[in-house]
Chain A
Amino acid sequence: MNKILLIDDDKDFNDTLKEFLEYEGFSVICAYNGKEGLSLIRKEKPDLIITDIVMPNVDGLEVLVELQREPLSFPTKIIAISGGGRIDGEYYLDTAEAFNTDYTFEKPLVVGELLKAIRELLN
């Protein structure tokens, strides 16, 4: 079973997405900030990482920078999501794309599209 790691500081969002993806048949683990996310990546070796960009402490971009700096010993896919709150919100996603993310999404999410992307990346 494919393992997905969710990194988002918004607990409601994270938990709901987890439940949804589990319902769709994925194994899901959650991290609520970038730091926790990084340690779970190395420990759990997920097949797919879905990370929020704007977070307190270590944010999504830092996670991406860290993965770039020290490449993983196993293959993994990355989807970046941004709150898109700022006028330059897209800029974050552009930056994220530069760090080899496979897909980028803006909140509010159309879950169907996310699911489509997840299935595409994991099959």
Chain B
Amino acid sequence: MKIYQKLLLGFILISLLVLLVGSISIFSDDQISNDISQLVNSSLKEAEGAAKMNYALQKTQLNAQRLLSERLREIVEPAEAASAIVAATRANMEIHKAIVDFEKWLIKGREATNQGVVLAGKAGEKDQVKEEKEDLLILNNIGLQFTEYKAALSQFIVLTKEDLDDADEWLKDVVNPLLINVTQRVHSYQEDTEGELHAEAGEIREAAEGNTKIMLTTTAIALCMALILGLSSAHAITKPLVDLKIAVTAIGAGKLDTRLVVNSNDEIGVLLDSFNNMAKDIESANSELKNSQHQLLQTAKLASIGEISAGLAHELNQPLGTIGMIAEFATKLLDDSNFDRDNFRQKMQKITTQVDRATRIITHLKIFSRKEEHESEEKDINWIIEESLVLLKEPLKLCDISLDIELGDRLPKIICNYIQIDQVLINLIKNAQDSFDNFDNFDNSYNKLITVRSYEKNETICIDVEDNGSGMSESVVDRVFDPFFTTKPVGKGAGLGMSISYGIVKEHKGILSVTTREGKGTLFTVALPMKELT
């Protein structure tokens, strides 16, 4: 899956979570407002009904009293009889109206309660159903009591037309107790409905609190999920990048076999894959480079041998000539009548010495040109210098160059690849020899001279190769260690000797330095660390 697809999926998931939280809160709010409106519709109606019934009851009592007073006024004060009759009739009407009102509100109360039963039943709230049913019973009871009160009140109205004393007595003894009875019941009903209202308000508050809790919980869950999603996608992106950075540093430090594990086929996976391919290419290019460097070294070695082979032939001719001569001499001695055994043995020993001399040259040549890698070992630097001069003394002699060797006493041995150091010295001395080509010095006392010195300085073993040849110009010195840089004519060197020497000394953790004066000569110094080569 691509990273942008992963991110897109993450954002869609977060959006869905937000949508879920929103829906839950909207649904809960809707539920609460439904509950409130139902409560208003049912409970408030019940409470209102109770109040209205109470009011109607009071109205009946008030008008009953007034009816009685107006009847009395009609009899006691005949002058006011007419107005008293009107007032009594109005009171009578008011009583009937109040009765009708009471009954109307009673019916409304019953309807509201019935509705409450149905709603609570639908909502599955059993306690609510029970309470509403109890309310219904109370209302029925009030209805029964009110019927009784209404009958008594009708009897009272009839009595006010016949006998006021009886009517007064009936009102006090029958009507009023019945009224009190009904009033008390209505009152308790009123209190009951108010209690229910409080209880339901509490329930709504609880529901609202619960709703808040749900909202907070879902919000918290959504936040956590968003956080986890964000962190995991950030981790998925950054982790491979951090790994990549570490791997790049490792490659830079030369650990070319560094590879990354590719777990995905997204953009980062493609990047890591490319990195691995690049590292592989670098590694193989590096091994090819090492291989060709090795071959170059070998070629340069063989080239040096070619260049010094002229002197070499001369060098070998010497012992061979001597051997031939001694052999002939010895043969003559055999024919001598006075055969001198000791003299003959002496001649044979001389032959052996000369063979050793030739062998030394051949051995050196063989070791020098051998292709396999030599291991580092502990060597005396003076011995290495002497060995490298085996091949060089004759060529120098041929060019009429004097060699001055100043070897330091008791120098500590160094750990090195002596074949390579040998190669460095041969290169440096050959370079010194070439510095006399086309160099004219008209001073009569001038002699071509190469000086080779060994000494100890600042924890290093140094070898100087100094000549009094042509020296180098600044532009030549600057490039003296560059590969393929040469001032020599075609066929006299590929321009590799110095750069290879530089590489070898560097590999030994040493320093190859040069100081030169044009027309005066050049000094190359190889400084090799005395500490063990690691």
Residues of chain A lying within 8 A (CB to CB) of residue B326:
16
Residues of chain A lying within 8 A (CB to CB) of residue B320:
107-108
Using CB atoms, name the residue of chain B closest to A88: B310
B162 interface residue per 8 A CB criterion: no
Return the CB mask of A46-86 against B: 1 if under 8 Å, else 0. 00000000111101000000000000000000000001111
- Is A112 a contact partner of B328 (Cβ separation < 8 A)? yes
Residues of chain A lying within 8 A (CB to CB) of residue B310:
85-87
Q: Complex Cα distance A56/B329, Å?
A: 28
- Is B329 a contact partner of A23 (Cβ separation < 8 A)? yes
Using CB atoms, name the residue of chain B closest to A58: B400
- Is B314 a contact partner of A20 (Cβ separation < 8 A)? no
Residues of chain A lying within 8 A (CB to CB) of residue B357:
12
- Is B350 a contact partner of A85 (Cβ separation < 8 A)? no
Q: Complex Cα distance A112/B323, Å?
A: 14
Q: Complex Cα distance A98/B319, Å?
A: 28
Q: Complex Cα distance A55/B397, Å?
A: 6
Residues of chain A lying within 8 A (CB to CB) of residue B332:
23
Using CB atoms, name the residue of chain B closest to A106: B317
Given A20-B325, A112-B328, CB of A107 within 8 Å of CB of B397: no
Residues of chain A lying within 8 A (CB to CB) of residue B464:
none
Residues of chain B lying within 8 A (CB to CB) of residue A84:
313-314, 317
Residues of chain B lying within 8 A (CB to CB) of residue A57:
402
Residues of chain B lying within 8 A (CB to CB) of residue A94:
none
Using CB atoms, name the residue of chain B closest to A14: B322
Given A12-B353, A56-B397, CB of A108 within 8 Å of CB of B311: no
Given A12-B350, A12-B353, A13-B322, CB of A83 within 8 Å of CB of B329: no
Q: Complex Cα distance A59/B447, Å?
A: 13
Q: Complex Cα distance A84/B319, Å?
A: 13
Given A16-B326, A55-B397, CB of A107 within 8 Å of CB of B311: no
Q: What's the nearest-Cβ distance from chain A to residue B403, in Å? A: 8
Return the CB mask of B296-314 against A: 1 if under 8 Å, else 0. 0000000000000011111
B394 interface residue per 8 A CB criterion: yes
Contact of A12 among B312, B324, B354 (CB under 8 A): B354
- Is B317 a contact partner of A111 (Cβ separation < 8 A)? no
Q: Complex Cα distance A106/B353, Å?
A: 22
- Is B318 a contact partner of A19 (Cβ separation < 8 A)? no
Q: What's the nearest-Cβ distance from chain B to residue A62, in Å? A: 9
Q: What's the nearest-Cβ distance from chain A to residue B484, in Å? A: 26
Using CB atoms, name the residue of chain B closest to A84: B317
Given A86-B314, A108-B317, CB of A17 within 8 Å of CB of B398: no
- Is B324 a contact partner of A109 (Cβ separation < 8 A)? yes
B70 interface residue per 8 A CB criterion: no
Q: What's the nearest-Cβ distance from chain A to residue B305, in Å? A: 14
Return the CB mask of B328-358 against A: 1 if under 8 Å, else 0. 1100110000000000000000100110010
Q: Complex Cα distance A54/B310, Å?
A: 12
- Is B325 a contact partner of A56 (Cβ separation < 8 A)? no
A16-41 contacts to B (CB < 8 Å): 16-17, 19-20, 23
A110 interface residue per 8 A CB criterion: yes
Contact residues of A with B, CB < 8 Å?
Answer: 9-10, 12-13, 16-17, 19-20, 23, 54-57, 59, 83-87, 89, 107-112
15 more A-B contacts (CB under 8 A) besides A56-B397, A86-B310, A112-B328?
Answer: A10-B318, A10-B322, A12-B319, A12-B353, A23-B329, A54-B314, A55-B397, A56-B400, A85-B314, A86-B314, A87-B310, A107-B314, A107-B318, A108-B324, A109-B324
Q: List 8 A-B contacts (CB under 8 A).
A: A10-B318, A13-B325, A55-B397, A85-B311, A85-B313, A85-B317, A86-B310, A108-B317
Contact residues of B with A, CB < 8 Å?
Answer: 310-315, 317-326, 328-329, 332-333, 350, 353-354, 357, 394, 397-398, 400, 402
